[in-house]
Chains A and B, each alone.
Chain A
Amino acid sequence: QKEVEQNSGPLSVPEGAIASLNCTYSDRVSQSFFWYRQYSGKSPELIMSIYSNGDKEDGRFTAQLNKASQYVSLLIRDSQPSDSATYLCAVIYGNNRLAFGKGNQVVVIP
C-alpha cells in the first residue's frame, strides 16, 4: 500500500465551480497533513495544513481530515483560472519525513 494515494485523474472544472480533491494515507499514527500547489515548472507551495479531524477553511480553500478513515480532502470554492495547477497531498511520517501523493492536476476552464 502506498503511503499517500491520490487516485483521481486530471480534474476539469468550470470557472466559479467547486473543485474537490481526495487523498488517503496508510499510517494510522500520522498527525500532520498538508496540501501543496505546484504550477508547471515551479516548486510546490504550501496552501493548507491540517492536524485535527474536521474542516479547516482558509479563503477559498477548505481542507477536511478524517483520521478514522485515513482520508484528507481539499475543496477549492469559486475556482479561478489561476487555480489551474497540480495539487499535492503530503503526510508527515515518523520524525519530520514528508511523503507525497503523485498529485492531481486541476484545470479551471474560463
Chain B
Amino acid sequence: KAGVTQTPRYLIKTRGQQVTLSCSPISGHRSVSWYQQTPGQGLQFLFEYFSETQRNKGNFPGRFSGRQFSNSRSEMNVSTLELGDSALYLCASSLGLGDGNQPQHFGDGTRLSIL
C-alpha cells in the first residue's frame, strides 16, 4: 500500500511570493492534516480536512490556507511568504472517522526555504 506522498520535496522561494504544496493520502484515508515543523517551535498543527471540508484549524494567519478534493488529495497554499515561513511542511493522513482514534501517518514533507 502506497504511503502518503508529498510534492515537491524541496522548494526555494523569495519573500512575497506564494507557494502551493500537494499531498496525496494513503488510499482509503479521508482525513488529511498539515503541520509545520521548525527547530524552535516543533511540530505545529495547521489544519485538517475531511471529506473536502476543513474540520480543524490551528493558530496560523490567514496567509495559510488549504483545500481537499473529492479524491481526498489536499493542497496547502501560503501567500505573501515571509522569512519565518521557512520550515518543513508535513502532511499526515488517517481514516478520520468519528472518534479520532486512528493514528496519523506522515509523508516525507516539503522543505520550504524563503530567501
Contact = CB atoms under 8 A, between A and B. Distances in A.
Interface residues of A, number: 23
Contact residues of B: prevailing secondary structure: strand
A16 interface: no
Interface in A36-69: 36, 42-46, 49, 51
Nearest to A100: B43
B76 interface: no
A30 to B, nearest CB: 10
Contacts of B107: 43
A46 B101 contact: no
Interface residues of B, number: 28
Given A43-B90, A102-B42, A96 B56 contact: yes
Contact of A44 (B90, B96, B102): B90
B42 A103 contact: yes
Nearest to B105: A46
A88 B103 CA distance: 14
B66 interface: no
Contacts of A51: 101
Interface of B: 31, 33, 35, 42-45, 48, 50, 55-56, 58, 88, 90, 92, 94, 96, 99-109
7 contacts: A43-B106, A44-B90, A96-B50, A96-B94, A98-B104, A99-B45, A103-B42
